[in-house]
Amino acid sequence: MKNKKITVSDNFQKKYSYILSEPTGKNFRNDFRPDLTPKEMLKLGVFGGAYFIGVKGLIPKDLPKSWFAGVKLSPDEEKHGELNYFKTRASQPLSVWKQKGWINKQDPHGWFQWYSRYYLGRRSDDDDRQIKRWNAMRRHVGQIKAHCREGDVHCRPRQRQVLLHWAYDSRKM
């Protein structure tokens, strides 16, 4: 829905509002072409089943519930590597992201929250920074291609999992 106002209140944000100015899944910038949708990422298994740690298992109200149907979620507030597609832990704690200055106030859960909202149609002044970060992950694609036989999903599983966290489909490399 174009030009729809969304207001979010949860453990991380109170009365944060944004506008969906583009149709869902459409009109991405030319330099941002992710392989996977947020729903596909969640279904495959990312973030140890605990991306939204701190919200006590609540699905953010601004994200479609359908994205979480059949998703393996952490039984507690810990990340579980076995819930990831490549069965390995591959992410740093949110505290590290905050310490490094990678978190923007509008998306306190980081890159995936930004991408989810971008996918839904929000455009923001943080798009340039986040898309640059996404593009920087291509270095991992190059490393997998240089060191693994094509289709060998057992080669560099942690690096492949990291790429899944950034919407690159590393199963096909």
pLDDT at 49: 84
Q: Which two tokens stand for residue 126?
A: 């943080």
Query: How many other C-beta atoms can be found within 10 angstroms of the C-beta atom of residue 56?
Result: 9
Q: Where are the chain's structural domains? A: 4-172
pLDDT for residue 58:
67
Q: What's the CA gap between 30 and 46, in Å, rounded?
A: 25
Taking 50 as the pLDDT cut, the residues of the chain under it are: 55
Over residues 16-61, the pLDDT tens digits come to 999 999 999 999 999 999 999 999 999 999 988 887 765 455 678 8
Model pLDDT, residue 115? 98
Q: What is the pTM of this model?
A: 0.93
Give residue 92's pLDDT. 83
